[in-house]
Structure 1
Amino acid sequence: MERPGEQDTPSAVRKALGMLDAFDAETPELSIRELARRSGVARSTAHRLVGELLEWGALERTTAGVRLGMKLFELGSLAPTPVTLRDAALPFAHHLHEVTQLTVNVAVRSGGEIVYLEKITSRSLRVPHSRQGGRGALHATGLGKAILAFGGDAEIDEVLAGPLAAITPKTITDPETLRRELARVRERRVAYDVEESRLELFCVAAPILDARGRALGAISVTGATALDQAERFAPAVATTALAVAGALRPRRPDATRRR
């Protein structure tokens, strides 16, 4: 029987998940003290939960404290839909990288963000703000805009109604401006991010669509150049997105084949 007020108290599982969520790309290692502060968990509780997470493999010890463990990577690799998309996109992503010599990313939507499924890095340009398993703002990335443009009207309205944070001074934060931008993305099937998620970088992205025209994810190239130069990569990115979408669709039996 649930005690009065018990439903309002975070469970040990929720506290542990909050601690795991405290890590990010900028701080992959944390001391237990900082981990407790970021997650809002009492330090004594944090020490106990860290011990259990270390024993299970969700965390690993480092000289600075702890970091996420390989057990989480092993479980993440079992996620069915994203892995299927990643597997289908990977050979095409490598080809796109060879053709353009730019960093290639593949991503899917997760709430108001994108999650990077794959990143193939260019030797000539490091893109620090994206990493496999990392996240980015849906409204401020070419990948995010490519996905959002081919979502339903209700999904677009929900994103536009929420706060559109300025990741850089060039991020689109006005809802109506972003709505017009998404309409252009639907028309040309290519989305651009020109210094909106990172200064001095551009992104050209195209949606990977299912048979109904809804975005399963998106693929992009990233480099350091002006928009008029970035536009020349649009045909290659759009063609790659079509190829990935084709690889994901089940093949129909050949009607002309004799039985």
Structure 2
Amino acid sequence: MRSFRWMAAGVLLLCSCIGWNEEQQGVVDSYMELRRTVADRKWNESYEMLTEGTREYIDIVLDIFQENNIELIDSRDDLFESLAIETEIFSMSDVIHSVEFAGDRALLTADGQDGYRTFEFLKEHGEWKLNLVPDIQMILNFMMEGTPESSGEAIPSYISSGEGSCIFLIRNNLNGLAIHNVFCSLSTDDSWGDDKLGPGILGTGSELGLHLNPGNYNIQVFDSMERSYTLWQVELDENGILWEITEEDMDRQQ
């Protein structure tokens, strides 16, 4: 009976892998390698297989635990193991049903604990990395609910900068990538000036409100992969401007 079960599992795995093209196979390989390292509790290797945005959020959550002297979590390995359970990567199935693409984003659907589980992978530096930013944001919001602090203090949903009468609102709509730098200057200036975010970061879905005087401005931001997004000669008045940054806004020379 045992041999029959192993044969059946093998047939399922074989069937699930038939027909992948080269790019799909790359995502599948990344998924299976992460599955192996998590099962073996090789946390350092697993950590490197996550998107840069995910790793940033893990480090932020670890800082929150350490600053609040929460003894259940002593190290990044402890935190990663807990997150692996909560996000179902500890129970990744080898039965994969589909791999779909949207630019540098891939959605891999496999068997899950309660039906199907879809994992998002982003292509960073030529490699497919698992993105857990939305999962960690949800866990962090739940973890901080009802406490004196809020997740917004750790990962602000809105940051305000400047004292002008007009507002230039920047919203991060990038998939799993934080914005690390924001520069703004009058279009007649020769330099960008200081980083408007300072030491902070703008997570996915978060907003930065630049309070500026009326005028014509250049705006440039950089994500966690040091890619730039720039608007040139934007006229700002009392009506304000909203810039929802997506991958389509990336500067094309990169």
- Tell me the TM-score range normalised by the shorter chain: under 0.3
Identify the structure with the greater helix proportion.
1
Give the structure-2-normalised TM-score: 0.26
Identify the structure with the greater strand proportion.
2
Give the structure-1-normalised TM-score: 0.26
